[in-house]
Chains A and B, each alone.
Chain A
Amino acid sequence: MDYHKPSTFEEAVAIAAGAAGTTRFLAGGTDILVQMRSGIATPEVLIDIKGIAGTRDIVREDDGGWCIGVAVTGAELTEHAEIGHDWPGVIEAVGLIGSTQVQGRATPVGNLCNASPAADSVPALVAAGAEVTVQGPEGTRRVPVEDIPTGPGRTSLKKGEVVTALRLPPRGRGGGDAYQRFIPRTEMDIAVIGCGVSLRVSGLVITEARMALGAVAPTVEPVRGAADALVGTRLEKSALDALADLAQAACNPIDDKRGTVKFRTHLAGVYARRVARIAYERARAAQ
């Protein structure tokens, strides 16, 4: 395995574009090192991007949105007061990734690029409408987070492409988001299902709504009809019922050691209700 530690993204892209064999970018390493230790995969080329300027920064942008460096860890994000005020759901999702120790290393961008359907941060990021900037041999582009994973362990990133930053949109008035997952223990488990909801309200009425579910399909995907079910409602029982039905209908899970199709589908409905209620309360409080 060749280890590289470039100091610019241009250099990183050049190394990756020219590399022969399996290439991985190293940020927190909490997935790659597990794969190496378990004998699942040892990359031939490993590119450590933590030496690149700005990758450790959390910056509020001019429009009020956030630019999060690709090497920013979960712990750094959860300790950042302002971003947690804007996007509590995203931050609580990031904070659920692994143990305290894992939080000290793991990054949300790594969580995204590992492309696990059960990644905790991703449903919250999708609900929030987050994007990443991607740099490659062909230039730079902005991509919605939901377009990065294409299947378990697979991404839409092309050879030589690297994510250079994570961007959260400006929160604005009356916005609230939330994320919860179901796990058998209280910590240290992979989500059996995860649910992220982001809402905006005007008074008591929902004006915008996005929801995404994790661990119920090959990739984390937005539940497209969430807005139709919620916008214009005050999250009455009928709205919650409609949302739960939508969530269950969006499920295309598998039976595996962590849960059955039936169990996951059931939980999707339970968590759609629970998480929407929290997001609604937060949105109302943020007016």
Chain B
Amino acid sequence: MPEVHLWSGLRALAGGREVVEVEGRTVGEILDALVAACPGLKEPIEAGVSVAVDGRIIASARNEPVNPDSEIYLLQRLRGG
């Protein structure tokens, strides 16, 4: 199962966990599964998160495929200058 790494601000909303294992074949499925597992994550995820899948930062594409061994990081959405 893919492991999703949460940034520290999300951990309080996920029972203190830094890594959550969820089922999913796409970024969208992963995010949905995350919210199902940790309902507290619904608001920040809807507000917008960046998802890094194997090093590529995905801002919004829910259909991006995810492998069972993919490295997934949730990151705060970027604000540049």
* A–B contact, 8 Å CB criterion (strictly below): no
Q: Residues of A with Cβ closer than 8 Å to B?
A: none
